Amino acid sequence: MFGLIKELRKSGVLGINQRNADFILPYNQRRLYPLVDDKIATKDLAQRHGVAVPQLFGIIEIQREVSLLPALLAQLNEFVIKPANGSQGEGITVIAGRTRDLFRRADGSLVNIEELKFQVSNILSGIYSLGGQPDRAIIEYRVKFDPVFERIVYRGVPDIRIIVFLGVPVMAMVRLPTRASGGKANLHQGCIGAGVDIPTGQTLSAVWKNMVVSEHPDTGNEVSGVQIPHWEKLLEIAARSYEMTGLGYQGIDLVLDQELGPMLLELNARPGLNIQIANREGLLPRLESIKKQKFSSVQERISFSRKHFGSLRP
Amino acid sequence: MSRRHLTILCSVLVLAGLVVTVYRWLILDFPLLPQERASTWRVEVQISFEAKGAPVKAALMLPQNRIGMTLLDEHFISRGHGLSTESDPENRRAFFTKRNANGSQTLWYRFLVHQNLSREITPKILAPRQVESSGLSGVELAAAQELAKELDSYSADDRSLVRLLFSRLKNPQIGGKEALLLGGGVYSRSISRAGVAVLRVARIPSRVVNGLALRPDRRSARITSWIEIFDDDKWSPFNPETGRFLSPENHFPWWRGNEPLLSVVGATDPRTEIAVRETLVSSLETAIKEGRLKSDPLLTLSLFGLPLQTQEVYRLLMTVPVGIFLLVILRNVIGLRTFGTFMPVLIALAFRQTELLYGFILFSTVLGIGLMIRFYLEYLKLLLVPRLASVVVVVIIVMTFISIVSYKIGFDRGLSVALFPIVILAMTIERMTVVWDERGAKEAIVQATGSFAVAVLCYLLMTNELVKHWTFVFPELLLVILAAILALGRYSGYRLVELPRFKVLSRRD
């Protein structure tokens, strides 16, 4: 066991205790959390900084407004319902189309309007929010993902997670929904995470449920070696997110829409550590090397990142 | 730096906690182990004399509190005699007086003495201003002077003189100076008295000490005498019996000087009968009684100052930090996941009352029935707060039902189900259904098992005799626990469950 601890230290693997004690607590001020915990605030912030976000169709704030849901959804065929303060991708419903008066979820199952209303009520009562606080429900544009991912995604929207430390993109991965994850892009829920080589924007090997895989379990297609479009733009949004929120250590979730290009999905003040497994590399050495630098511009931070944070594995 | 700040804070807390603990342990004699028994002795003195109708005054020597020896309880049964006590630096006396007494009189004096043999017995008494008079005269004084002169020429210092003197007093030659001084007696008392007289003639400050052997069950114990000489700025005991400068083993000094234990004026045939019995008083009780005598501030600040009912509550409460400390380790160092942060500790508290096996059965029953009903409520699509409230009500109904049914079938244990924290149970049921819905039954059962395992570990720790004893008797140890928890607040090592998760990342090349 101690041998394993030593090896993990040598590989610079960041553990959850160290992430909290050495990065989140010192670099992320508590008062900035609402900016990223509340997805409505994040949307606002991003738009003021000229970053594209999925269009907001409506917000439901109180129980009484739940009865307005059918009217709100009348014109919409595809949309996403999510809690404004949700955590770990919980409480998100993705509607991909309609069949008569029923709604078709991204995983193909059908729901009626009553079930959607109940879902919204649950969101409002705070079931999915951090600390069980009363919450708001967001209804927003469902991203039509870039065809480049068509072959390696099973029913869902793949997203790109970039860890940003002091404005420098540190590590990146794409999360590819699987049948097991129910169309959700969350590693906890069983989606694939594939590391992304920062200099080139090409996917590396992937992990699925803590195993290293090279093919998508549902489509059988090669996951690694895929070039992510708009990579430079994605890196720039990531680097600029530091000025946007002021959080020193954050995870930024981006999606690529086939028409609208890169969009900011959400920000995370306590990003998970699985990105290390997806990249098969520890975060610590990269984070430490950033601590020693002084940067004067966003461009400088990006070029530092692209120069030094290439994958060590072919 | 905050890290240094924390180190200093933790060190201060640990130091303060340990210092007070050690103080309580060593100075106040609070026992480190539960049920440690201190040797406490009950001594009973029966005093009797024949009164002749004249005013009677009986003087009894009383023991005194000294370092290493404490009187815990003292009782006089004076039976119509007036009672007064007086004390001087050396001794304490009780006077029983009666104007008109006739016939055989019996009085009692009884005390409880606790002796700590690990401590120095000899009290630090100021140096005598001068050597007291030997009390000898005539031929005895001459004999003593001659003996002192002789001994002086044979010995190097006071101590060797003392040894020499007593070896000669113990084996007197018939018709010799020693026999004259002893006056025929060969008991330890006459030897000590004669020795002290000679030493005083030789200008060595000395005195007789009269004490009692503390041995189990002695019906008629005898007073033994030894001496003390003033040497190196303190009184050192010397035991004529063994010829060593040590108090006789297991003896406690009762009074000092040549006076007898009981002296009576106005009556005849004074007698004393001493009975010694060892009593087992828990050392905690002894320590508390001693502390009361010393009126120590730390004792008034201890939990023993509270009413008994409240003490029981704190007995329970004081173990909670220990459980929480374990919980911090299990969550932050091991990485176990539980429902709610402190739920397992509260469940463990309930287990303390129900006992583990029954606790487990009752807990799973309530949880199981609660879950079933919660799934039914899910179907009704209720809002969160009313739903939670209904679960609370259902939990109470289930608990009432279990209590009534188990009482009817004669299973009394079932009654203790009422001790489970209802709201905690309801929250657990709610959390469990949400996890069940979101992540599947497997994850819900894993988390429930984890919570339960943590609760059992907390229970085992919190019901440990040592833990219960330490937290209650030495509440300052909470400062040490607090320091440990604070220190864990900056623990940045891997959690145990992260090791298999990150195993693929270990660099074997």
How many residues in chain A? 314
Which of B6, B490, B502, B503 best probes binding to A when mutated, by most A CB atoms within 10 angstroms?
B502
Q: What is the ipTM of this complex?
A: 0.75
Task: Tell me the average pLDDT of chain B.
Answer: 80
Under 8 Å between Cβ of B263 and B48: no
pLDDT value for B125: 54
Share of chain B above pLDDT 70, in %: 85
Question: Binning pLDDT at 50, 70 and 90, where does residue B509 land?
Answer: very low
Hey, is the C-beta of A17 within 8 angstroms of any chain B C-beta? Answer: yes
Of the candidates B147, B25, B15, B2, which has an alpha carbon nearest to the alpha carbon of residue B473?
B25
Question: Binning pLDDT at 50, 70 and 90, where does residue B8 land?
Answer: very high
Residue A39 has, within 13 A of its CA and on its CB side, a CA count of 29
CB contact under 8 A, A7 and B384: no
Q: Which residues contact B374 (CB under 8 A, 6 or more apart)?
A: B387, B391, B394, B429, B430, B433
Coil/strand/helix, residue A117: helix
Coil/strand/helix, residue A175: strand
pLDDT value for B37: 60
Of the candidates B453, B438, B493, which has an alpha carbon nearest to the alpha carbon of residue B337?
B453
Task: For residue A282, give the chain B residue with the closest CA.
Answer: B505
Contacts of A127 in chain B (CB under 8 A): 384, 434
The single residue listed with the structure tokens 């004792």 is B299
Q: Output the DSSP codes for B208-221.
A: EEEEEE--SSEEEE
| Higher pLDDT among residues A108 and B507, named by residue | A108
Hey, is the C-beta of B217 within 8 angstroms of any chain A C-beta? Answer: no
pLDDT value for A165: 94
Order of all β-strands in the sheet with B92-98: B82-87, B92-98, B56-62, B262-265
pLDDT value for B115: 66
pLDDT tens sequence across B431-458: 787 777 767 778 788 888 888 889 899 9
Interval B349-378 mean pLDDT: 82
Question: Binning pLDDT at 50, 70 and 90, where does residue A184 land?
Answer: low
H or E stretch including B423? helix B422-439
CB contact under 8 A, A212 and B504: yes
pLDDT value for A129: 73
What span, in angstroms and rounded, lies between the C-alpha atoms of A159 and A176?
7
**Considering only A48-57, A273-282, B109-118, which range has the smallest mean pLDDT?**
B109-118
Q: Output the DSSP codes for B127-164.
A: PPSSPPP----HHHHHHHHHHHHHHHHH-SSHHHHHHH
What is the nearest CA distance from A281 to chain B, expressed in angstroms? 6
Interval B301-325 mean pLDDT: 78
Hey, is the C-beta of A62 within 8 angstroms of any chain B C-beta? Answer: no
Burial B320-346 (b: 16+ CB within 10 A, else e): bbbbbbbbbbbbbbebbebbeeebbbb
pLDDT tens sequence across B458-486: 999 988 888 888 888 888 899 999 999 99
Torsion, Cα B420 B421 B423 B429, to 10 degrees, reads -50
Which of A14, A17, A66 best probes binding to B when mutated, by most B CB atoms within 10 angstroms?
A17
Interval B237-264 mean pLDDT: 82
Whether residue A172 is predicted with pLDDT greater than 90 in this model: the reply is yes
pLDDT value for B280: 63
Structure token digits, residue A187:
């590693």
pLDDT tens sequence across A240-272: 999 999 999 999 999 999 888 999 988 999 898
| CA separation, residue A136 to residues A53, A56, A127, B66 (Å) | 18, 13, 11, 75
Hey, is the C-beta of A224 within 8 angstroms of any chain B C-beta? Answer: no
